[in-house]
Each structure stands twice: as structure tokens, then as C-alpha cells.
């Protein structure tokens, strides 16, 4: 598994657990450290993971609002927890990352792959639909 894909996977799993425990203050860093140790042995640099984790945490309210606008029939609390956090990682990369480092289509494709790997059969399509909607809106601006 490529290191960036593994990093996204670890970030998503950490956000999932943090979300599962109601986003307990200060718990995200502890979870992430443990997940890097457990799932990322040999990972040379965890900087990308921390950028994703802290970026999603910093922009969480705005990211969640964007999810609800892009999928109005799905209130954030009704989106499966895995899908919700895959979308958060994907949207953070789509909206806030350096486009030269992570082109939008790469961010979308990586999120789709995470959804397919960790969630249900239709999750990849759902994630693609939400991120595709946001990407189209960004292009129209």
C-alpha cells in the first residue's frame, strides 16, 4: 500500500474512532498515535496523517455543513460513521490541500477507494456523488 494511501486510511480510522466516542476533546491525538503505531509500522513520515487529522478537526464544522448541502437528504448524523469520515478526509483535501500536491481528482479517487475498502457496497457511489457535487461547484465559482 502506498504511503499516502496508508496515511489516509490511518487518518480516516482515527477520525472514525474519535467520532464514535463523540469527538471527545484531546482524544483524537491519542487515537492517532496508537493507530500510527498499530497500522503504520515502517511508515517513514507521519506528517501527512497529522495534516489530515488536524485539518479535518480545525475545519470540521464547515466541512460538515458542506456535506449536508451536497447531500441534503442525508443529515450528517444519519450518514454512516465510516462514510462521514471518508467524506471529511476527502473534502479537507479537496478544499484545503495544495492542489499541486493533491490534485482534486486524486482526493476524490482516494476517498472513493477508502469508502469501498471500509464501508458498504454503495458507499463508493455515495462518496463519489457528494465529492463530485462539491468539485463541480468549485469549478463553477
Can you give the pTM of this predicted structure? Answer: 0.95
Do residues 56 and 92 make contact, with C-beta atoms less than 8 angstroms apart? yes
Q: How far is CA 29 from CA 4, 33, 137, in A?
A: 19, 6, 33
pLDDT score for 21: 94
pLDDT score for 22: 93
Helices (H), 1-141: 3-20, 27-39, 47-58, 60-70, 81-96, 104-118, 123-140
pLDDT score for 2: 75
- Nearest residue to 129 (alpha-carbon basis) of 95, 86, 98: 86
Residues of the chain with pLDDT under 50: none
What tens digit of pLDDT does each residue of 12-25 get? Answer: 999 999 999 999 98
Amino acid at each position: 500500500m502506498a504511503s499516502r494511501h496508508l496515511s489516509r486510511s490511518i487518518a480516516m480510522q482515527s477520525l472514525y474512532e474519535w467520532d464514535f466516542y463523540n469527538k471527545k476533546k484531546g482524544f483524537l491525538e491519542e487515537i492517532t498515535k496508537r493507530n500510527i503505531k498499530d497500522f503504520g509500522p515502517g511508515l517513514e513520515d507521519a506528517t501527512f496523517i497529522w495534516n489530515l487529522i488536524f485539518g479535518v478537526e480545525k475545519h470540521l464544522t464547515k466541512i460538515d455543513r458542506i456535506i449536508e448541502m451536497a447531500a441534503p437528504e442525508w443529515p450528517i448524523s444519519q450518514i454512516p460513521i465510516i462514510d462521514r469520515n471518508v467524506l471529511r478526509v476527502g473534502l479537507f483535501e479537496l478544499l484545503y490541500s495544495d492542489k499541486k500536491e493533491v490534485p482534486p481528482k486524486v482526493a476524490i479517487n482516494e476517498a472513493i477507494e477508502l469508502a469501498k475498502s471500509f464501508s458498504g457496497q454503495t458507499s463508493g457511489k455515495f462518496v463519489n456523488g457528494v465529492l463530485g457535487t462539491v468539485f463541480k461547484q468549485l469549478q463553477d465559482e
